[in-house]
Amino acid sequence: PRTIYLKDYRPPAFLIERTELRFALGEDSTQVESRLRLRRNPAAATPAAPLVLDGEDLELLSVRLDGRDLAPGEWVQDAESLTLANVPDAFVLEIVNRIKPQENTRLEGLYKSSGNFCTQCEAEGFRCMTYYIDRPDVMSVFTTTVVGEQARYPVLLSNGNPVEKGVLDDGQHFVTWHDPHPKPSYLFALVAGNLSCLEDSYKTASGREVALRIYVEPHNIDKCDHAMASLKKAMRWDEQRFGLEYDLDIFMIVAVDDFNMGAMENKGLNVFNSKLLLARPDTATDLDYERIEGVIAHEYFHNWTGNRVTCRDWFQLSLKEGLTVFRDQSFTAEVTAGTVKRIDDVRMLRSRQFVEDAGPMAHPVRPPSYMEINNFYTVTVYEKGAEVVRMYETLLGREGFRRGMDLYFERHDGHAVTTDDFLAAMADANGEDLSQFQRWYEQAGTPRVTVEDAWDAASGRYTLTLRQSCPATPGQPEKRPFLIPVAVGLLDAQGRDMPLRLAAEAQAAGTTRVLRLTEAEQQWVFEGLVERPLPSLNRGFSAPVRVSYPYTETQLAFLAAHDADAFNRWDAGEQLATRVLLGLIADIQAGREPALPERFLTAFAAVLTDAGLEAAVKAEMLMLPSENWLAEQMDVIDPDAIHAARSYARRALAGELEAQWLGLYHTHEVSGEYRFDPRDAGRRRLRNLALSYLAALDGKPMRQLAASQFEQADNMTDSLGALAALMLIDGAEREQALATFYDHWRNDPLVLDKWFALQASAQRPDTLARVEQLMQNPAFSIRTPNRVYSLIGAFAGNPTGFHAADGSGYRFIGAQVETLNALNPQVAARMVGVFTRWRRYDAGRQAQMRAELERLQGLDLSRDVYEIVSKSLQ
Ligand code: B3K
Ligand code: ZN
């Protein structure tokens, strides 16, 4: 496969002013007719370039240019394109071709899911339906006619507004849709099927009525209310926060069961993986409810950040994704408890993005090259990209950020642009020079900020010295300094924030200051302090960096108890727990008896019994760092010692504080009917956490406690919480509960996914055997991504299962990747990702992982899997 470089970008040779499509959907094949009005791009690099259209797996039937049928000799066709050498400057091209959606297992382009037709075009799926200039900087006005059998496909949808419909011969009918907003092909969508629809409406800030429709399979119609409520909430929020209104008369969402990712922001017709849309209290957990709200918002927000203003090329992917993740994070933070959202986001960034940034697939937020663009829908482009956008807000303030957004839309509405354009809008709207900020888009790797301090009691001066560095990443041995906004506060001996006055300032201002670190090393002097402060650094996680300061354990416990910044309070506790666990890991590796330090136990107990802490925040503070996060802190990862240490700590914390956990459990029962609201959800989260600690104690009483919660639960959060706790305890109750759950939900695949995932993540010796047996279950299918993610993906993420010392986990996942590679390369590529970090393990595991990667490399691989395998072995 060849590598595509950002530096090779050239404007398209042709533009497509109008795109008219007609899809005749059939049981055997689908005929696609396209009529394109093309003209040469005045900004093109070469004036007489041939017309090259992208197309893959298409059966070409005819080509007409300005009404004249072309003979086969007048074009050149290869596996990926159709070339017409001598074309006029402006002309109409009509193409007819045939495709086979029924045979499409890659789930890109047009395919069938549960008997219905649907599409996924981002990034390059449109070319699997018809010949086209399939790149985001070609924006066109689309008119689409969908023709299908009325009985099988009563609902026919595409982007924009319906303009015509009618009945044809032979039981066929059609609907024509027109989308007035020019858009790139990746935002095209088509859906046809037997679907029920939940209808509602929304009045925009300027008073326009918008029809809202959510389409699902008829048996799911009772699971759409939460998605609809979330949509209306998101629409209102975007008006209030960014002044952005919806721009069509109708907004539709369709849920499909077979979908490679979460959801897709097609103009006016979002398509969702059903797991991110369907929810009823008995089928969806609080976490599902929260994610649905967040993803509905995310896809809706794309209407402006992605659709109205889109990407010039796929290297700019973070322009829409980083920005839209930032927007959905801000939305969730504002409609729920903000601190908990921030903690969850940072936890995920650290445990996944920091890992990616330190491995062979590390890439900047704006990658300079790729082999397969689908491999770059990564935590770096999305989550680190969102942190980069957040830093603008930290640097410019909420108002300054809004000014930048306003200017961005004013300049670029209706255009395909770059992250440079976004940066320029932010800088120009605020009269700032942000040129150094550009490096966040260009340099990969997680910067490290090392902090040193000095206190001069005589003068009351406190000096902070910050040094930055960034590790080498593939292709980038040296890095230049970043512009890093480090939010800092100073605590006095009582734990109160001190007013801050920097040298040369006349008076103190505020208690948190954003220091702009731009050099490799810089100093700040705070004056007028009466005692030596304790620094609270990178408050609210103001920059996506690792900070190191030589805190003692006592100081971390002090910050965890007192820091005015709620995020840093959690983070200090997390750092303390990480340190303690790494100590336990070292004990276990050295054959010493592990013991929980008294100081840690006291600090932990203080949080556990603190009546002033909100339940959801308390749950965050009582969760131990994940095994993956601990693994990242070690030079040579030892999955068995990590698991043993963490299990030991859980048992010790459960045993020492049993009465307190039980107290918490019994006082946090949520009464009344299930409601998804942050307060109730926080209580359930804390209560289920207490139950999982108690489960570590084993024994009959705890089994009964969990079993009775399982039997009595009237909502999925509590049902699954109990089942998860039972998974930790040996005994008849576990198998019984698993069987009951299965019997009850055997016809609801989305709920069964939870059942698959729980068993595949169990850290037990027989897990692999169990997973292999579950693959035979009639509910499992390797062709449905959700099943693969919940069973095979959960096992791949199970640190003791995947990394079993005998290599059985590696061979199993390798074999699944091989099967998936032929069926669905995108899903295969996601599964192979667990092998990328093979160099971090001991020699035995390294050899086995490497052997599996080499075996895969010898196969006939898709571009997707090849890129990851070959880069991992480099
Ligand atoms: N834009 C889509 C992702 C498409 C992934 C293509 N492989 C969903 C989203 O980020 O909103
Ligand atoms: Zn997105």
Check which CATH number belongs to the domain holding 841 and give it: 1.25.50.10
Q: Same domain, yes or no, for 80 and 211?
A: yes
Confidence of residue 657 (pLDDT cuts 50, 70, 90): very high
Question: 232 and 198 in contact (C-beta within 8 Å)?
Answer: no
Are 155 and 204 found together in one domain?
yes
- Residue 285: inside a domain, yes or no? yes
Ligand nearest to the CA of 122: 1
Give the model's pLDDT for residue 676: 95
Residue range 633-640: mean pLDDT, rounded: 98
Q: What is the pLDDT of residues 538-548, one digit of tens each?
A: 999 999 999 99
User: Could you tell me if 156 and 61 lie in one domain?
Assistant: yes
Band of pLDDT at residue 148, cut at 50, 70 and 90: very high
Shared domain for 193 and 85, answered yes or no, is yes
**187 C-alpha to center of ligand 1: Å?**
10
* 44-50 long-range Cβ contacts below 8 angstroms, 24+ apart: 44/10, 44/11, 44/12, 44/13, 44/14, 45/10, 45/11, 45/13, 46/13, 49/13, 50/13, 50/83, 50/84, 50/85, 50/86, 50/87
Ligand 1 centroid to residue 121 C-alpha, Å = 9
Percent of the chain with pLDDT over 70: 100
Phi then psi dihedrals of residue 128, to 5 deg = -85, 0
User: Is 145 among the domain residues?
Assistant: yes
Strands (E), 440-519: 448-456, 461-469, 484-491, 513-517
pLDDT computed for residue 603 by the predictor: 95
The whole-number average pLDDT for the span 837-844 is 98
Mean pLDDT calculated for residue range 226-254: 98
Find the ligand nearest to 323 CA.
Answer: 2
Q: Which of 134, 259, 264, 298 to mutate to test the pocket of ligand 1 (most atoms within 8 A of CB)?
A: 264
| Cα 186 to averaged position of ligand 2 atoms, centre (Å) | 13
**Residue 865: which domain range?**
749-874
Kindly give the pairing relationship between strand 310-311 and strand 416-417.
parallel
Judge if 283 and 339 occupy the same domain. Answer: no
- Is the domain of 241 the same as that of 322? no
Choose one of 506, 534, 562: the last residue of a domain. 534
CA–centroid distance, 318 to ligand 2, in Å, is 9
Give the residues surrounding ligand 1 with Cβ less than 6 Å away. 122-123, 261, 263-265, 298-299, 302, 321, 374, 377
Pairing of strands 90-99, 59-65: antiparallel
Average pLDDT, integer, range 255-281: 98
> Where residue 365 sits, what CATH number does that domain have?
1.10.390.10
Strands 14-24 and 416-417, sheet pairing: unpaired
- Of the listed ligands, the closest to the CA of 320 is 2
Active site includes 410?
no
Atom 8 (ligand 1): residue with closest C-alpha?
A: 264
Residue 679 located in a structural domain? no
Q: Which ligand is nearest to the CA of 829?
A: 1
* Nearest protein CA to atom 4 of ligand 1, as residue: 122
Q: Is residue 217 part of a domain?
A: yes
Mean pLDDT of 371-377: 98
- Cα(325) to centroid(ligand 2), Å: 7
Say which CATH number the domain at 100 has.
2.60.40.1730
The stretch 473-480 carries a mean pLDDT of 98
- Pick the atom of ligand 1 nearest to 826's CA: 7
Per residue in 418-465, pLDDT (tens digit) is 999 999 999 999 999 999 999 999 999 999 999 999 999 999 999 999
Share of the chain above pLDDT 90, in %: 99
Summary mean pLDDT of the chain: 97
**pLDDT tier at 573, thresholds 50, 70, 90:** very high
Q: Is 80 exceeded by the pLDDT of residue 591? A: yes
110 has which bridge partners?
A: 119
Q: Is residue 527 part of a domain?
A: yes
Residues 175, 287: contact at Cβ < 8 Å? no
Residue 373 CA: which ligand 1 atom is closest?
A: 7
pLDDT band at 794 (very low <50, low <70, confident <90, very high): very high
In this structure, the answer to whether residues 322 and 297 fall within a common structural domain is no
User: Quick one: pLDDT at residue 322?
Assistant: 99
Residues 11-70: pLDDT tens digits?
999 999 999 999 999 999 999 999 999 999 999 988 889 999 999 999 999 999 999 999
The verdict on residue 392 lying in a domain is yes
ipTM score over 0.90, yes or no: yes
Q: Are residues 132 and 190 in the same domain?
A: yes
Residues 224 and 355 in one domain: no
Number of domains in the chain: 3
The single residue of 33, 265, 290, 299 carrying the catalytic annotation is 299
Atom of ligand 1 nearest to the CA of 262: 8
Q: Whose CA is nearest to atom 7 of ligand 1?
A: 374
Q: For ligand 1, atom 3, name the residue with the nearest CA.
A: 264
Same domain, 147 and 57: yes
Probe target for ligand 1 pocket from 321, 380, 383, with the most ligand atoms within 8 Å of CB: 321
Question: Of 108, 119, 183, 265, which is best to mutate to test ligand 1, by the most ligand atoms within 8 angstroms of its C-beta?
Answer: 265
499 within domain boundaries: yes
Instruction: Place 695 in a pLDDT band, splitting at 50, 70 and 90.
Output: very high
Query: Does residue 250 carry a pLDDT above 90?
Result: yes
Looking at the structure, tell me whether residues 109 and 240 fall in a common domain.
yes
Q: Is the pLDDT of residue 699 over 90?
A: no
pLDDT at 156 (0 to 100): 99
pLDDT at 175 over 80: yes
- Per-residue exposure over 13-39, b if at least 16 CB sit within 10 Å of its own CB, e if not: bbbbeebbbbbbbbeeebbbbbebbbe
Q: Please check the confidence at residue 830 and state whether its pLDDT lies above 90.
A: yes
Nearest CA to ligand 1 atom 2: 264
Ligand 2 center to 120 CA (angstroms) = 14
Range scoring the smallest mean pLDDT among 35-49, 239-253, 779-793:
35-49
Length of the chain: 874
Q: How far apart, in whole angstroms, are the C-alpha atoms of residue 531 and residue 533?
A: 6
Q: How far is the CA of 186 from the centre of ligand 1 (A)?
A: 10
- How many angstroms does the Cα of residue 320 sit away from the middle of ligand 2? 7
Q: Is residue 702 part of a domain?
A: no
**Closest ligand 1 atom to the C-alpha of 302?**
11
Q: How far is the CA of 244 from the centre of ligand 2 (A)?
A: 17
Mean pLDDT of 679-684: 97
| Residue in 326, 377, 862 to alter for ligand 1 test, most ligand atoms within 8 A of Cβ | 377
Closest ligand 1 atom, residue 306 Cα: 1
Nearest atom in ligand 1 to the alpha carbon of residue 382 is: 10
| Protein residue closest via CA to atom 1 of ligand 1 | 264
What pLDDT is recorded for position 232? Answer: 98
Which pLDDT value is given to residue 47? 83
> Is 337 a residue whose pLDDT tops 80?
no
